[in-house]
Amino acid sequence: MTEQNLPRIVVIGGGTGMPVLLRGLKNLPIKLTALVTVADDGGSTGRIRQDMAIPAPGDIRNVIAALSEVEPMLVQLFQHRFADGNDLSGHSMGNLLLAAMTSITGDFYTGIKEISRVLNVKGKIYPISNENISLCAEMVDGTIVRGESNIPLQGKQIKRVFLDPEDVTPLPNAIRAIEKADLIVISPGSLFTSIMPNLIIPHIDEALRQAEAKIVYVCNVMTQNGETTGFTASDHVQAIINHVGQEVIDAVVVNNKKIDPEIQDVYAYENATPVVYDTDKLLELGLEIIEGDIIDDSRTMIRHDTNKIAKLLFSLIQK
């Protein structure tokens, strides 16, 4: 198969779940594109956003690291976070480099492209928007919360999330990637604060509804305190439907392997529990259910296995 004819997989997301998918997918014979959230406002990212009024670099940094093919020491340098005790305290080297390259080139996306070239990134990385945006949430009790990092701290049930400003312009390349894709994957991750900010961008939601590609949602394995407490798999899907429409998701990927009770006990301290895969309700939503053993058994924290999930997703475009 020639380079031109390779299947196109687009992954949409952010947080810790997205890089896991990308590390496995980058080794497959595909054209890979990552569409990444820019709504993060915590830690180093938040300080840089405040000082420079640029889109959030943190999730982009992690995706660059995941797709980079350079010496491990260079990736370690890129991901290095400065220790306490100086003006750089808490800053990530990669965030600073992205900020610096944005300043040099005058454009956030161009900065990403240049750093991707230097770090030999495999695939394409697009911020979902080139604008500085904030994520807000309306809670079930009517409270409005501003700021991605503040939303999970409220301990309240989230009714909906929205952007400020609401008339955000998506990156044109992101729209084109969705239109040309053979498979679109919504990655696991913090549902309301890492995944949803991508899907609710104006015209992105429309592009997803009109996409010819199959759209697959890789469901989280554990609930997240302050965000998806008590959520089943169908609750995750229903939240996406409530924000962007019934016709967006075609299939959902779920883990079918029992989670070690000892690991469950560790998560219980964080008020997190395994996501219940309520098959009947998923079928009622008209979804294809794709089950598999997709957890990394070698880790003490629950994470998707980068190679297992990549193999599973690749199999969907081989059929």
Report the amino acid identity of residue 120.
N
What residue ranges do the domains of the chain occupy?
A: 3-37+128-318, 40-122
The pair phi, psi for residue 311, each rounded to 5°, is -60, -45
Check if the beta carbon of residue 178 is closer than 8 Å to that of residue 208.
yes
CA-based angle 20:62:78, to the nearest 5? 130
What pLDDT band is residue 47 in, cutting at 50, 70 and 90? confident
Task: Say yes or no to pLDDT of 112 above 90.
Answer: yes
The pTM assigned to this predicted structure is: 0.94
Predicted confidence (pLDDT) per residue in 136-194, tens digit: 999 999 999 999 999 999 989 999 999 999 999 999 999 999 999 999 999 999 999 99
In sequence order, the 6+-apart residues with CB closer than 8 A to the CB of 25 are 9, 11, 32, 123, 310, 313, 314
Q: Which CATH superfamily is domain 3-37+128-318 in?
A: CofD-like domains (3.40.50.10680)
Task: Say what the pLDDT of residue 218 is.
Answer: 97
What pLDDT band is residue 319 in, cutting at 50, 70 and 90? low
User: What is the C-alpha to C-alpha distance for residues 191 and 206, in angstroms, rounded to an integer?
Assistant: 19
Average pLDDT, the chain: 92
Predicted confidence (pLDDT) per residue in 10-46, tens digit: 999 999 899 999 999 999 999 999 999 999 988 888 8
Give the pLDDT mean for 218-242: 95
Q: Which of 177-191, 226-240, 289-303 shows the lowest per-residue confidence on average (mean pLDDT)?
A: 289-303
Task: Say what the pLDDT of residue 109 is.
Answer: 97
Task: Say what the pLDDT of residue 1 is.
Answer: 58
The first and second tokens of residue 94, run together, are 């990669």
Check if the beta carbon of residue 156 is closer than 8 Å to that of residue 143.
yes
Report the amino acid identity of residue 177.
A
User: What is the C-alpha to C-alpha distance for residues 162 and 237, in angstroms, rounded to an integer?
Assistant: 17
Task: Say what the pLDDT of residue 124 is.
Answer: 98
Task: Say yes or no to pLDDT of 270 above 90.
Answer: no
For 75: left if phi > 0, alpha if psi spans -120 to 50, otherwise beta; the answer is alpha
Predicted confidence (pLDDT) per residue in 67-104, tens digit: 999 999 999 999 999 987 677 788 899 999 999 999 99
The first and second tokens of residue 176, run together, are 């084109």
**HEC profile of the chain:** CCHHHCCEEEEEECCCHHHHHHHHHCCCCCEEEEEECCCCCCHHHHHHHHHHCCCCCHHHHHHHHHHECCCHHHHHHHHCECCCCCCCCCCEHHHHHHHHHHHHHCCHHHHHHHHHHHCCECCEEEECECCCCEEEEEECCCCEEECCCCHHHHCCCEEEEEEECCCCCECHHHHHHHHHCCEEEECCCCHHHHHHHHHCCCCHHHHHHHCCCEEEEECCCECCCCCCCCCEHHHHHHHHHHHHCCCCCCEEEEECCCCCHHHHHHHHCCCCCECECCHHHHHHCCCEEEEECCECCCCCCCCECHHHHHHHHHHHHHC
Please name the residue that has the structure tokens 């054209």: 31
Task: Say yes or no to pLDDT of 265 above 90.
Answer: no
